[in-house]
Amino acid sequence: MLLTIIQTIHTLITNVNFAALFYMIYMHLAHKRGRSLKVAYGLILVECVLMVSFKMVCPLRVWVTQHYSAATPDQILLNNIAPYYLMAGSTLLVIAIATYFLPTPKPNP
């Protein structure tokens, strides 16, 4: 029961983080700013701080490994793509940062 709760929470966190990254990219490409973009920045910042403080391993993954086994899945998502989440998230973060620095188009007079 507890493992199912952890898997559900971890899946939700992963989905929210990827949604925040895609939202950041969209808002930067649309040259929009707002409170919701700051919330997305905050979510990603919290995730980055946690990942760095746990040596690039998710704390929930560490907990599942300690209490169950290293082979136990820590998410409800597909296990064969789980190793690529960090790489995909990092790539999206780089794209989000790069799109922030795109020049704003000048309005036509």
Give the per-residue pLDDT at 104. Answer: 78
What is the chain's mean pLDDT, rounded? 90
Check residue 31 and give left, alpha or beta (phi > 0: left; psi -120 to 50: alpha): left
| Cα(6)–Cα(75) distance, integer angstroms | 8
* Number of neighbours of residue 5 by Cβ within 10 angstroms: 9
Confidence of residue 35 (pLDDT cuts 50, 70, 90): very high
* Residues sharing a CB contact under 8 Å with residue 26, sequence separation 6 or more, in sequence order: none
pTM of the model: 0.86
Sign of CA dihedral 25, 80, 45, 8: positive
**pLDDT tens-place string over residues 75-89:** 887 777 878 888 999
Any idea which of 25-29, 36-40, 74-78, 91-95 has the lowest mean pLDDT?
74-78
Which amino acid would we find at residue 72?
T
